[in-house]
Structure 1
Amino acid sequence: MDAAPASIYLLCRNAAYAGSVIQQLSLFGLECQAFARASALLAAIHGKAPLMVLVDEAGCDDMALPQVLPMIARLQDVPLVYLSLPMAAQEQIELARAGATDFLPKPFDSHRLIDQIDRMLEAQSPQPARVLIVDDSEMLTHWASNVLTMGGMRVRSVKNPLKVPQLVALEKPELILLDMYMPECTGDELARVLRQNPAFDGIPIVFLSSETQRGRQLSARRMGGDDFLVKNNDPDELIDIVTMMVDRYRRLRELMSRDSLTRLLNHTHLIERLLQEVARAHETVRPLAFAMIDIDHFKSVNDRYGHAVGDRVIKSLARLLRQAFPGADLVGRYGGEEFSIVFPDTSLLRAAQQVDELRQRFGDLCQTSGSGEPLTISFSAGVAQLGNGMHAEQLIESADAALYQAKAAGRNQVGLAR
């Protein structure tokens, strides 16, 4: 059984303020525990390390904050965020010396804190690399698979190279470890075939072979390989090379496929993902749903409060979507204030239920203007089900019609395609 996710600990003697912080963080799926006494906080930290510690400037009931901060810092090496009204630089320096690692201004801005948590979690919990090994040798496959699995990677292997194009389309590996000599075809021949498909073009291909002739190695790389490793090389070298190449692939892939503001799939890659899932649903005769989401009256938000506030609203919805769909490879920014979600293996009603839960959470977020004025923001959505013989374009049109149905009915609701 997986361990329960770490909580955020809050030291705050003001119960009402602590309650508002807890409520806002809960909307982003984060658990927060509040403590009025430093002794109780320190005991909790000693028992279980938190994700981070928030300390309110009002202090606590039993100790002065200059005493508490160093004790927290000594117990656990976790971010220690100080919540306060604007203060002089000298005060910040003294608090930093005492153990504070970050500062957040009051009133509490959950969006800024979530931004920080997102960056921290991504750095701490990278997704395991997905590696496909193509080799007819069981001994080498077993060795390489064990080495990479021990290195924290997710490994899939296949003996028949002719099955690789279909497997790559389904599994979406981030690196292919390819033998040079196999009965069905050579590794460089397979690499050339893979490079003909634009969807596979950027996936790193590393040849793993007993071939030591430098000319033959270079020839294989010209066919589409990115690197060449000799079999039975050092396990640490294999892990290091695969890790570096996957990291580089991910960075390039994110630049090409992600929307810069939301870090969700951009329009082009969202449609590409939908096309893949539509083909899979038809092939496996499994259900598929698709949702279109549009932030209500978004133009008036931009016109009245400015694009900075509008961007913050968009980012807050994007965060909820990323948390609801980890990895976010099924969610994209369709354009402007419109988002889309692909629901593989999901019925129309179940998808609509998930979207409606998101709608309620989004409506509960405390959005504010640049001057701190509270804003009420909602979204409307349309959900459609893939029918027999239906194309991706028809599924989008169906969800879009359901979205307009929801808008016509008063907005802030989910419409179902007829």
Structure 2
Amino acid sequence: MPIFTKKLIYFVTPNLDGFNELGRQLQFFGFEYQVFDRNSALLAALYTEKPCIVVMDEVGMTDSTAIQCLPLLTKLFNGPIFLANFGIDIGKQLEYLRSGVSDFISYPINLQTLIDRLDQLEEHEHIQPYKVLLVDDSDTVAKWASTVLSGAGMVVKHLADPLKVIGWLERFNPDILLLDVYMPQCQGDEIAKLIRQRAQFDSIPIVFLSTETHRGKQLMARSMGGDDFLVKNMDADELVAAVSITAERYRTLRRWMTRDSLTGLLNHTNVVESLAREVARAHKESRQLSYAMVDIDHFKLINDQYGHSVGDRVIKSLSRLLKQSMPNPDAVGRYGGEEFALIWTDHTQIRAAQRTDELRVLFNGLAQSNADGHFVATFSAGVAQLEDGMSAQDLIDAADQALYQAKAAGRNQVGLAPKR
């Protein structure tokens, strides 16, 4: 069943106060929660509304142990069940696994660790279907391949004219390009060579699809920029497997190439490229565009006082808050260190500043954990609006100057760049 249709967590524990505090912190990241200390209340709630996950104390509840509760719980709920524990041996873990527990999480429960696990579950649940651009002048072959791949859950776009491939690569943004070798207008390897001359398409795998069986000619075609060679009369299951394996491998590589390893946000290069695209679009279509630079206050002091691992958790907590609050994943990135970039499309400067300030207030409410307890981290921000004649770099410089002014004025606030 889809487990993240609603971000609702059920906590099962005799310790209501501790889990209520954890739940309140999770609310900052868009989760809802309910805490149950009695078996009857939990089972009644499951009949009414299913959560995305159940987190159960190893003690169980006030009226039943975890082992006693699990059989009926698993009949009513087939989603993930985490067991929070102080450390149990492998024999006990096996007993819990056989009773329906899917994973274990250690006490004391660290907010960031729990969210990491929830993120992994959500990403697995929301894997996007592979997008395949098929370039082949044969309607018969194209129909067969499209039917096979679409039947496997992929999104397929067939293009009969190879001379239009560049435009469709930009618009469709496929995970993989299937390219016929022999076409009336040109050879597939010629098109592959042209594609490989454009850096923005480096991460798209090109797989030749042809009746050619001569190994030397296949290798020659691949030397022009192809990544693999498939024969057209191959088995349907083999086609699905070959396309899936290649598309998944390159999707993973693309993620590592474009995303920051700590936060999963766009890295510096790619968030700047995303901003440049939005600037060009805003100028062309006369649309509003604002940009915010966000910087965690006194971050060096956090690292010096609590250690770099705590500093990393502060960065991750802010990155999650920003990612969940922005309109799309390409609208936020880690600019560098403790700095983040927010692209506010169709926003005036005032509206973008208001939205950024709402995020500032939310971040202030997060309890950041360390070895001795909790502390509060804050951020400052600068917001600039795109004006006629401004480039992406001009917009970045204006927001950066506004950020500097916000820090000079006392930090933990949002500064506005003056109009030119």
When the two structures are superposed, what TM-score results if normalisation uses the length of structure 2? 0.87
SS in structure 1 of the partner of residue 30 of structure 2? coil
Contact kept in structure 2, 1:188 and 1:220, CA below 8 Å: yes
SS in structure 2 of the partner of residue 365 of structure 1? coil
Q: Percent identity?
A: 51
Partner amino acid for 2:24?
Answer: Q
**Structure 1 residue aligned with 2:395:** 395
Partner amino acid for 2:414?
Answer: V
Contact kept in structure 1, 2:403 and 2:414, CA below 8 Å: yes
Residues in 1 aligned to 2:354 and 2:186: alpha-carbon distance in whole angstroms? 49
Cα 1:290–1:157 change in 2 (3 A) is farther
Q: Superposition pairs for residues 55-94 of structure 1, below 5 Å?
A: 55-56=56-57, 59-84=60-85, 86=86, 89=89, 93=93
Cα 1:206–1:344 change in 2 (3 A) is farther
**Structure 1 residue aligned with 2:338:** 337
Residues in 1 aligned to 2:285 and 2:104: alpha-carbon distance in whole angstroms? 51
How far 1:401 moved relative to its partner? 1.5
How far 1:325 moved relative to its partner? 4.4
Deviations 1:82-135 (A, max 9, x none): 335x35648964656654444444454221100111122223332222222223
Contact kept in structure 1, 2:16 and 2:36, CA below 8 Å: no
Residues in 2 aligned to 1:32 and 1:127: alpha-carbon distance in whole angstroms? 27
Superposed CA RMSD in Å reads 2.9
Contact kept in structure 2, 1:11 and 1:59, CA below 8 Å: yes
Contact kept in structure 1, 2:57 and 2:66, CA below 8 Å: no
How far 1:193 moved relative to its partner? 0.6
Residues in 2 aligned to 1:71 and 1:232: alpha-carbon distance in whole angstroms? 51
Deviations 1:293-326 (A, max 9, x none): 1011111111111111111101111222333348
Q: Which stretches in structure 2 are left out of the alignment for 5+ residues?
A: none
**Structure 1 residue aligned with 2:363:** 362
**Structure 2 residue aligned with 1:126:** 127
Cα 1:228–1:415 change in 2 (3 A) is same
How far 1:291 moved relative to its partner? 1.9
Residues in 2 aligned to 1:195 and 1:90: alpha-carbon distance in whole angstroms? 52
Contact kept in structure 1, 2:7 and 2:30, CA below 8 Å: no
**Structure 1 residue aligned with 2:223:** 222
**Structure 1 residue aligned with 2:189:** 188
Q: Structure 1 stretch 227-236 or stretch 299-308: which is displaced more?
A: 227-236
Deviations 1:192-247 (A, max 9, x none): 01101122123101122344444433322111111222335433222221211111
| Alignment size in residue pairs | 415
Q: Which stretches in structure 1 are left out of the alignment for 5+ residues?
A: none
Partner amino acid for 1:274?
Answer: L
Q: Structure 1 stretch 111-120 or stretch 285-294: which is displaced more?
A: 285-294
Contact kept in structure 2, 1:291 and 1:382, CA below 8 Å: yes
Contact kept in structure 2, 1:384 and 1:395, CA below 8 Å: yes
Partner amino acid for 1:360?
Answer: V
Contact kept in structure 1, 2:142 and 2:158, CA below 8 Å: yes
Deviations 1:155-189 (A, max 9, x none): 33434333322332343322112222344332211
Contact kept in structure 1, 2:5 and 2:52, CA below 8 Å: no
Cα 1:158–1:330 change in 2 (3 A) is farther
**Structure 2 residue aligned with 1:416:** 416
Cα 1:156–1:9 change in 2 (3 A) is same
Partner amino acid for 1:408?
Answer: A
SS in structure 1 of the partner of residue 282 of structure 2? helix
Cα 1:408–1:166 change in 2 (3 A) is farther
**Structure 2 residue aligned with 1:10:** 11
Cα 1:289–1:231 change in 2 (3 A) is farther
**Structure 1 residue aligned with 2:288:** 287
Q: Structure 1 stretch 70-79 or stretch 224-233: which is displaced more?
A: 70-79
Residues in 1 aligned to 2:291 and 2:158: alpha-carbon distance in whole angstroms? 32
Contact kept in structure 1, 2:59 and 2:65, CA below 8 Å: no
Cα 1:243–1:356 change in 2 (3 A) is farther
Residues in 1 aligned to 2:308 and 2:218: alpha-carbon distance in whole angstroms? 53
When the two structures are superposed, what TM-score results if normalisation uses the length of structure 1? 0.88
SS in structure 2 of the partner of residue 329 of structure 1? helix
Question: Is residue 40 of structure 2 the alignment partner of residue 51 of structure 1?
Answer: no
Contact kept in structure 1, 2:177 and 2:207, CA below 8 Å: yes
Partner amino acid for 1:173?
Answer: P
Contact kept in structure 2, 1:6 and 1:49, CA below 8 Å: no
Contact kept in structure 1, 2:332 and 2:341, CA below 8 Å: yes
Residues in 1 aligned to 2:183 and 2:117: alpha-carbon distance in whole angstroms? 49
SS in structure 2 of the partner of residue 384 of structure 1? strand
**Structure 1 residue aligned with 2:380:** 380
Contact kept in structure 1, 2:266 and 2:333, CA below 8 Å: yes
SS in structure 2 of the partner of residue 184 of structure 1? coil
